[in-house]
Structure 1
Amino acid sequence: MDADDVRELALPLRDAADLDPLLARVGDARVVAIGEASHGTHEYYAWRAALTRRLVEEHGFGLVAVEGDWPDCSRVDRSVRLRPGGEDDPRTALDAISRWPTWMWANDDVVDFCRWLRDVNATRPAADRVGFHGLDVYSLWDSMQELVSWLRENEPGHAEAAVQALRCFEPYGEDGAEYAFATRLAPAGCEQTVVDLLRRLCEERGATTDQGDPDPDARFAAEQNAAVVAGAERYYRSMLAGSAESWNVRDVHMADTLDRLLAHTGRRAVVWEHNTHVGDARATDMADAGMTTVGQLLRERHGTDDVVLVGFGGHRGGVVAGREWGAQIERMVVPPAREGSLEHLLHEALGRDALVVVPRGERPGWLDRRLGHRAIGVVYRPERERWGNYVPTVLGQRYDAFLYLEETTPLQPLHLERPDEHVPPAAHAV
């Protein structure tokens, strides 16, 4: 019977000490990717932070990479690593995030974690401090500005050529959707004038970099901003080709960015993203639509022994989200999980918070059944619970471990959405 099998495998989840079996499963893995079943739930963020603290303190993990923009997270990184020009309080850097949905990272739970991380780093030599980095692809214009500023200061010979090429985007007023539509009429867009140039700049810098570079992290950040510009141009251009293509451009970019961070730092990495990116797409109907995910790419590139994928789910509670793309955030009620779903099965069998570590060998049949698994993104409409908001999932194949929470509460944003903030084109809501 499923309920008996669930109770036999599920472990109590009360405090951070109960994560011991998951840490044992991590072992020597190089990457631990930790998901969330929504972008607006306090408990998902808090448990993810608790697990990350233990990975940093007890297992030597050296960087945290998140589903956020590179320039925004660079400001946070300068603060938590006590780098020159960094804010004394990470809250200031997080509160400055201005791309919708700001609450994903500008919230009390991330502030608490980043303050803790800064305190830990303050006791360590600079080379051993834990970084905080963004993996996402949306920040085309911010990354362009960061790149040009770095070139003007460090490689002025390249700066003017970069400025001329990047002016290709000026007519679109920092509007990715307008750029995407324009490329429909003129398919080449800015690809030839920008992407090739930025790639060449990266290659030339890589070929001439002096091993005695006084600030290799700053050089790496400039090259990453160049990679973001190239990736964002591809992303916005792919939006008109269909959901699967643009999704894949984004997730491949995030996986590529993580690989560059791993190579640059030589450290073990914790990844914070939504379940829909962390989980293996091959265990969901996403694969049927031709979509890949960061979790799938990590397993394919690094092997299943070197990657641990951790998912979250909850039965009922509350969340902050927008009802439409770009809308003001609201506190919303999350109703009890739909009957027949993964969360409903766990609620019926357990009725309490639990940790499930997927066995490596033989495992109970419920882990290999395809069940609906709730996914709440930055847009949420509770009225669609009867037919939407769930991803058909084989739990034992999608994740290596799963944290189930019986009741959840909304996270606390640092500020409401501001009228002047940038809203990226609505391609995907997670």
Structure 2
Amino acid sequence: MDRIEELALPLREAVDLDPLLARVGDARVVAIGEASHGTHEYYAWRAALTRRLVEEHGFGLVAVEGDWPDCYRVNRSVRLRPGADDDPRTALDAIDRWPTWMWANDDVVDFCRWLRGHNAARPEDERVGFYGLDVYSLWDSVHELVAWLRENEPEHAGAAVRAMRCFEPFGEDGAEYAFATRFAPTSCEQAAVDLMHHLCRQRGRSDDGDDGDGDDPEARFAAEQNASVVVDAERYYRAMVGGSAESWNVRDVHMADTLDRLLEHTGGKAVVWEHNTHVGDARATDMADVGMTNVGQLLRERHGTDDVVLVGFGGHRGGVVAGREWGAQMERMPVPPAREGSLEHLLHERLGRDALLVWPRDERPGELDRRLDHRAIGVVYRPERERWGNYVPTVLGERYDAFLYLEDTTPLQPLHLERPGEHVPLAAEAV
């Protein structure tokens, strides 16, 4: 195969995804990226692929680049849990951590409503879940954990309360905590670790058959995950003062660890929704040059290339929702044509149409083995920086197993504008 034109297949409707479904085969994890967090077409095609994976390949959970507490409320809705929101839109609209539009948007609502309908026809133990993998929700996870312990194990709530009191002086401000740990001799690390150890000991007793009165295994798992978030979020915020590579790695290792726990907990197969920078194997980019790993690399290393399929996205021009600064109000912005010499420019010149590319590992066009600039738009975006920013040097054929290319894109539709007083997580990166 000498030319990329020979590889490109039409991409017009869901049935055109057949070659990608064939590539998935019996794989246990399919990680589906996006080239921005604010583009309708990326979300819509990702949802279309996920529906087919659920219906035709038996995938049992969707794990996303979102906070555990927020997504667990959505999970309870789509799985029709007692007392949960009847409409997933209510759960998604309640998200109040910037950037809310990542998950509080019409495309995710449509998918989650479909998922709830799909689950309604299935036994409870076969319903597909929706979970968050991210690490930002330190304070929300502490509050959720304290509440669960007080209701279910009041005699053990003291450890969580001590952890919460350690973090209280920082006013739920990640930046204030991060910089305080740089200059103070102590941190909340021990309180967080003690909390996780406590929950693990309790899990061991439950695994031995002592589940307690009325214990809900799913709720207990959620409590354990909130404890894990507290531990890793504390590490993440401390790492923030040490440089972006260290904090990035803490975050992506946490997301990969969370996915592994979900796979063990459910015993099923997982679809992952994250940005290309997390999904695509870091070793095929310049991220590896500065010591950064990511979820895609970790999945391949832990589960093997036969059991993992990584799917990337890219677009030539269009529109996007993003903020001009970290924490800024969202805007609809133009996305100019891809710069000359980039992957997206090459696909525009060679194809000029939406296309699906799925390649065998041992036979692919030479363009897929060249390092080309690949556009990456995060939650912070400035179109005027396209000349020198917003691109990641990438060997496409090594970074992904398949790629969806779109000529023209449009902004997604958020459920609400950013509201005054919303939480803005501290972050070293904008994806």
How far did 1:187 drift?
4.7
User: What RMSD, in angstroms, separates the aligned Cα atoms of the two structures?
Assistant: 1.1
State the AA in 1 paired with 2:59.
Answer: F
How far apart, CA to CA, are the structure 2 residues paired with 1:401 and 1:325? 31
Distance, in Å, in 2 between the alignment partners of 1:366 and 1:31 is 27
> Residues 96-135 of structure 1: matches in 2 within 5 Å?
96-135=94-133
Match of 2:31 in 1: 33
Q: Which residue of 1 aligns with 2:134?
A: 136
- Aligned twin of 2:349: 348
Matching residue of 1:237: 238
CA contact (8 A) 2:163 2:195 kept: no
Percent identity, aligned pairs only, is 83
Name 2:195's counterpart in structure 1. 198
CA distance in 2, matches of 1:212, 1:356: 51
Q: What per-residue deviation string (whole Å, max 9, x for no partner) do you get for residues 376-395 of structure 1?
A: 00000001100110000000
What does residue 176 of structure 2 align with?
178
Alignment equivalent of 1:209, drawn from 199, 206, 210: 206
State how far apart, in whole Å, the 2-side matches of 1:50 and 1:42 are.
Answer: 12
Secondary structure (helix, strand or coil) at the match of 1:391 reads strand
Whether 2:246 is the aligned partner of 1:249: answer: no
Match of 1:56 among 54, 57, 76: 54
- TM (norm. structure 2) is 0.98
Encode CA deviations 1:256-290: one digit per residue, 9 max, x unaligned.
00000000000100000000000000000000011
Checking the alignment, whether the CA contact within 8 Å between 2:240 and 2:427 is kept in structure 1 is no
Structure-1 residue corresponding to 2:358 = 357
1:230 counterpart letter in structure 2: V
Q: Deviation of residue 212 (structure 1)?
A: 7.2
Supply the distance in 2 between the matched residues of 1:5 and 1:303 (Cα, whole angstroms): 29
Alpha-carbon displacement from aligned partner over 1:186-205 (angstroms, at most 9, x marks no partner) = 2531111x123112212211
In structure 1, C-alpha distance between the alignment counterparts of 2:193 and 2:97, rounded to whole Å: 27
Q: Which 10-residue stretch deviates more, 212-221 or 258-267?
A: 212-221
Per the alignment, residue 282 of structure 1 pairs with 283
Aligned AA for 1:40?
Answer: G
Bigger drift between 205-214 and 322-331 goes to: 205-214
Write the distance in 1 (CA, Å) between the matches of 2:133 and 2:166: 25
Letter aligned with residue 126 of structure 2: D
Q: For the residues of structure 1 that align with 2:99 and 2:210, how far apart are their CA atoms?
A: 40
Pairing partner for 1:90 from 68, 88, 91: 88
Name the residue aligned to 2:309. 308
TM-score (norm 1): 0.98
Following the alignment from structure 2 to structure 1, what is the Cα–Cα distance between the partners of residues 169 and 123? 46
Partners of 1:198 and 1:123 lie apart in 2 by 38
Q: Which runs of 5 or more residues in structure 1 are unaligned? A: none
Which one is further off, 125-134 or 4-13? 4-13
- Show structure 2 runs of 5+ residues with no match: none
Aligned-partner SS, 1:114: helix
Partner Cα separation in structure 2 for residue 377 and residue 165 of structure 1? 32
* Pairwise CA distance, 1:148: 0.4
Match of 2:426 in 1: 425
SS in 2 for 1:183: helix
SS in 1 for 2:145: helix
